[in-house]
Structure 1
Amino acid sequence: MRSLTPALLLAFSPLAPQNRSLAWKAAAVVLGTLALALSSYIAVPMVPVPVTMQTFAVTLIGALYGWRLGGLTIIAWLMEGALGLPVLSGGAAGLAHFIGPTGGYLFAFPIAGMVTGFLAERGWNGHRVVLAFLAMLAGNALCLLLGAAWLSAMIGIGAAITAGVLPFLVGAVLKSALATAALKGLARR
């Protein structure tokens, strides 16, 4: 197995966020929250949880920004939604979404982005496609697991798995593959 060299760890992302100024990082957070908001508008309505491109954006931001900046960006986006900006699924906003059926998924997003970023910083990035895909898949799986755990408190474990996990499995694999392809494409630059 190939060991992780310091150069590989430093070059985890084509954006090289670890080598950027504070102003660049602040702009990256703003752009990241915009990307997350846009991904929220790409939705297929389902009950009790809609299918969106949010997990695609969450995992990709984690992989591109790293665990710290990625987590901060996702938390900033969630704060925008909590404060009433229309950045959540389908333009939704407000605290009610954080205590309703989607709350567990929302709280899982920063964790998923941070895990994906942590793995990317350790070489699970666009330079190693299979590992990048596994990192993206891990982020998606965390969202489903934590979201379903929250949902199960409201509707029971069986119903939470049926309504909050199973319909999202194929999408999780597809979004992981798409995020990996985007990361690979960016890594070539």
Structure 2
Amino acid sequence: MIDANLSAAGSVLSPLNLENRSLLWKIAAVVFGTMFLALMSRIEVPMYPVPMTMQTYGVMLVGALYGWRMGGITIIAWLMEGAAGLPVLAGGAGSLAHFAGPTAGYLFAFPICGMLVGWLVQRGWNGRNVILAFIAMLIGTVLCLTLGAFWLSLSIGVEKAMAVGVTPFLVGGVLKSALGAATLRAIPHKSERKSD
């Protein structure tokens, strides 16, 4: 459970404590984070019309480790790289066209989901309680699938969108959420007090 004293004291848990780092540290973290997300995008199982990749694992982990603000900035920076044509999206793809195609809903969902997971982790849903960490990752994954399927349904219909854009990814989503929680469990956590 979330420590009641933690909430009362107004402190947040931040595994990497990026909010209190120098600007240079933050820039380096964003660069490293976008490279990590690009690498996770290369690990995929081909499926139609949306490939299953380790992207959701990467997005949730960046949100969890970086915190909601820095995580969101990093995920958006990665998406901007993809929109600019850099080969950082699924399968090494990259172009503005991906932000209007069948995967656009998932892409636009990534920053929202990563920030949500980061926000939950900073409030105690982290590796100190692996069950809450798993639930945080799972919530982010379900939200990503929901938003992605909604966009997909606009072009192929709700039933087909659920069949090809959600159902095949449910088991993988659970496994990646468990892996994310285990990763958080393995990383030491620092407590920081929010400044007034």
Counterpart Cα distance in 2 of 1:110 and 1:188: 23
Code of the aligned partner of 1:144: L
Counterpart Cα distance in 1 of 2:21 and 2:189: 20
Counterpart Cα distance in 2 of 1:42 and 1:107: 20
Code of the aligned partner of 2:11: L
Q: Which residue of 2 aligns with 1:153?
A: 154
Taking the TM superposition and a 5 Å limit, the aligned residue runs for 1:28-107 are 28-107=29-108
Q: Flag the structure with more relative contact order, 1 or 2, with Cα contacts below 8 A and sequence separation at least 6.
A: 2
Counterpart Cα distance in 2 of 1:102 and 1:155: 12
Q: Which runs of 5+ in 1 are unaligned?
A: none
Counterpart Cα distance in 2 of 1:127 and 1:102: 34
**1:70-124: CA deviation from partner (whole Å, max 9, x where unpaired):** 0000000000000000000000010111100000000000000000001011111
Q: Which runs of 5+ in 2 are unaligned?
A: 191-196
| Contact 1:13/1:187 (8 A) holds in 2 | no
| Change in 2 beyond 3 A, CA 1:9/1:172 | farther
Shift of 1:4: 4.7
Taking the TM superposition and a 5 Å limit, the aligned residue runs for 1:113-152 are 113-152=114-153
Counterpart Cα distance in 1 of 2:55 and 2:70: 17
Helix, strand or coil at the partner of 2:58: helix
| Contact 1:59/1:113 (8 A) holds in 2 | yes
Helix, strand or coil at the partner of 1:143: helix
Counterpart Cα distance in 2 of 1:28 and 1:126: 20
Helix, strand or coil at the partner of 1:187: coil
Counterpart Cα distance in 1 of 2:151 and 2:160: 12
Matched, 1:170 2:168: no
Shift of 1:8: 8.1
Instruction: State the identity as a percent.
Output: 64
Shift of 1:182: 0.6
Counterpart Cα distance in 2 of 1:101 and 1:39: 20
Code of the aligned partner of 1:71: G
Shift of 1:15: 1.2
Taking the TM superposition and a 5 Å limit, the aligned residue runs for 1:14-29 are 14-29=15-30
| Contact 1:41/1:90 (8 A) holds in 2 | yes
Counterpart Cα distance in 1 of 2:86 and 2:184: 28
| Contact 1:8/1:123 (8 A) holds in 2 | no
Counterpart Cα distance in 2 of 1:66 and 1:60: 10
Tell me which moved more, 1-10 or 137-146.
1-10
**1:46-69: CA deviation from partner (whole Å, max 9, x where unpaired):** 100000000000000101011100
| Contact 2:42/2:90 (8 A) holds in 1 | yes
Counterpart Cα distance in 2 of 1:20 and 1:188: 15
**1:31-60: CA deviation from partner (whole Å, max 9, x where unpaired):** 000000000000111100000000000000
Code of the aligned partner of 1:103: A
| Contact 1:140/1:176 (8 A) holds in 2 | yes
Q: After the TM superposition, list the runs of 4 or more consecutive aligned residues in structure 1 that deviate by more than 6 angstroms.
A: none
Shift of 1:183: 0.8
